[in-house]
């Protein structure tokens, strides 16, 4: 599996589905705030509106930025910046955060399939430690109300790949409905494991749906361990036995890719890490964009690695516009 079938336009178009969230990114000077609110460092923990507000009040004097987020949304955003054809499914509210979301996606020429709720648009508070590790306290809001019944075939028909964020696996019926509808309409299915604690809580379900529906799996070292109980190299082999392409991301040590009997080691670029938020998401953007362009897996890994290295040098999950100006010519050279 490294090629597409169907119409050329469909081949190159990637559809993401995930929790449509606004990211509130906050630098913290020590990790005591994590202990105070019972947040495991490096994890994603679901919080209610009250606790989300308490976290923000506790860190009100800290530096922060606000941008559109959600794992799959970050990936789709990156694909759009690369010039790829893409779309996104999510649920928001007709409120200030929701309007900000719509405007950002419209400005980036992303096809949107938004559903609306009376519940407020969700937001993820990312607490960024001094070692650049990020810990999320996520209030899903409207995002958690996306339903299996909304996964209608018409949404999927003009796309070649469906990319799903692992955070959705807590809604088993939704994620299985999306995957099933995608496969029935000829799409490849990719999933990013998203967070080790989410994997641990849904391990049996994940093992089943990967084998039944998934073509491409992205996991970082901790997520791969949670899924298989094995070291990165051993985990790569096990995941690759469940799907067509397995990718294990190793941070500063690069990434491992396996399909069939072929194994690739992709080096990370040398960077000064400030914030790891979105590194895995933007890696997936580069990788999936390359696959949609029918490029070799090694090129896909190198583009993913280049993007991930550039996003960790800034705060937040978005590569700055001025950086894209220099990156795009580099990517064109990699594609040759």
What is the model's pLDDT at position 278? 83
What structural domains does the chain harbor?
10-20+71-120+147-335 (3.40.1190.20)
What is the model's pLDDT at position 318? 87
Give tens-digit pLDDT for 226-264. Answer: 999 999 999 999 999 999 999 999 988 999 999 999 999
Gap between the Cα atoms of 248 and 258, Å rounded: 9
Question: Given CA atoms 70, 74, 76, 81 in this order, what sign does their dihedral have?
Answer: positive
Phi-psi region of 235 (alpha: psi -120 to 50; beta: other; left: phi over 0): alpha
Query: pTM for the full model?
Result: 0.88
Give tens-digit pLDDT for 127-180. Answer: 999 888 889 899 999 999 999 999 999 999 999 999 999 999 889 999 999 999
In whole numbers, what is the pLDDT of the chain averaged over residues? 92
Phi-psi region of 88 (alpha: psi -120 to 50; beta: other; left: phi over 0): beta
What is the model's pLDDT at position 11? 62
SS3 of residue 252 by DSSP: helix
Q: Would you say residue 8 has pLDDT above 70?
A: no
Cβ pair 29, 75 in contact under 8 A: no
| 72 vs 43: which has the higher pLDDT | 72
For the chain, what percent of residues have pLDDT higher than 70? 97
Give tens-digit pLDDT for 185-220. Answer: 999 999 999 889 899 999 999 999 999 999 999 999
């Amino acid at each position: 599996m490294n090629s597409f079938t169907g119409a050329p336009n469909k081949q190159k178009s990637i559809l993401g589905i995930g929790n449509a969230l606004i990211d509130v990114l906050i630098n913290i000077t020590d990790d005591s705030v994590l202990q105070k609110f019972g947040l495991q460092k490096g994890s994603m923990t679901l919080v209610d509106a009250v606790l989300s507000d308490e976290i923000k009040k506790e860190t009100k004097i800290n530096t922060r930025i606000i941008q559109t987020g959600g794992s799959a949304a970050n990936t789709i955003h990156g694909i759009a910046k690369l010039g790829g054809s893409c779309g996104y499914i999510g649920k928001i509210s007709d409120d200030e955060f929701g309007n900000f979301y719509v405007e950002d996606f419209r400005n980036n020429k992303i096809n949107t399939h938004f559903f609306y709720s009376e519940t407020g648009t969700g937001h993820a508070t990312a607490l960024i430690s001094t070692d650049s590790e990020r810990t999320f306290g996520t209030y899903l809001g409207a995002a958690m109300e996306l339903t299996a019944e909304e996964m209608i075939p018409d949404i999927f028909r003009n796309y070649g790949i469906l990319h799903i964020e692992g955070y959705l696996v807590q809604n088993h019926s939704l994620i299985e409905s999306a995957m099933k509808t995608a496969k029935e309409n000829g799409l490849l299915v990719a999933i990013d494991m998203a967070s080790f604690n989410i994997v641990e809580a849904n391990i049996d379900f994940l093992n089943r749906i990967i084998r039944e529906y998934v073509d491409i799996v992205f996991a970082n070292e901790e997520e791969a361990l949670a899924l298989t109980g094995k070291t990165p190299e051993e985990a790569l082999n096990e995941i690759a036995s469940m799907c067509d392409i397995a990718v294990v991301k190793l941070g500063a040590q690069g990434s491992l890719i396996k399909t069939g009997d072929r194994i690739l080691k992709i080096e990370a670029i040398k960077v000064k890490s400030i914030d790891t938020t979105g590194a895995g998401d933007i890696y997936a953007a580069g990788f999936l964009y390359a696959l949609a362009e029918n490029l070799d897996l090694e090129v896909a890994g190198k583009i993913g690695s280049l993007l991930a290295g550039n996003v960790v040098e800034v705060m937040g999950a978005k590569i700055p516009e001025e950086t894209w100006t220099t990156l795009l010519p580099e990517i064109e050279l990699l594609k040759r």
